[in-house]
Amino acid sequence: MGRSKQLLLLGNKPVIKHCLDAILASGIRDIVVVIGSRNGEIEETLRGAPVAIAVNETVNSEMAESMRIGLRALNHAPTGVLVCLSDHPLVSPKTIETLSNEHRQDPGKIMIPVYRGRRGHPTLFPTTIINDLFFGITLRDVIRKDPRRVRTIDVNDEGAVLDLDTEDDYRKMKERIR
């Protein structure tokens, strides 16, 4: 989009705050936000938020590199890691709660929300599986490696599939927020 999507305003707050608020409302407390080295403004926006901030110094790196940095920043070894993307700011806390609850029931599976037949975000990875990222593969590779370890979860949340990639996407999201 030519500008920081995380700082775009939706309603009265930046996109990244929508994401963080949904995560916190779901009950998750151990949160690592990975930002780029040139994103001091995002760090400033998150000042005082109950998150750890990790910096990916590699410009234009793949998401897997940010994930590796975020995993290294965890204070303990959780059973699962929820990968939330800031360009999906309208995901509901209920979707995150559902993924977390399903993870507790089936901790060895990758949990992917599905809205009306479309896979969405966030994705919850068992720690044992996401650690495969340290062997040079991408998140897509992790998911595709063994389809039997992927579980799709039907959700009634359009936010799981609404992606903020273009100015038109942004306009539509602003309309939804109103």
- Please give the angle made by the CA atoms of 24, 3 and 26, to the nearest 5 degrees: 10
Per-residue pLDDT of 54-112, as tens digits, reads 999 988 888 889 999 999 998 787 899 999 999 999 999 999 999 999 999 999 999 99
List pLDDT tens digits, range 152-174: 999 999 999 999 999 999 999 99
Q: Does residue 46 have a pLDDT over 90?
A: yes
Q: What is the pTM assigned to this prediction?
A: 0.92
Read off the pLDDT of each residue in 130-149 and give the average, rounded to a whole number: 89
Which of the four pLDDT bands, split at 50, 70 and 90, describes residue 135?
Answer: confident
Q: How many CA atoms lie within 13 A of 115 on its CB side?
A: 15
5-177 classified as CATH 3.40.50.10470: no
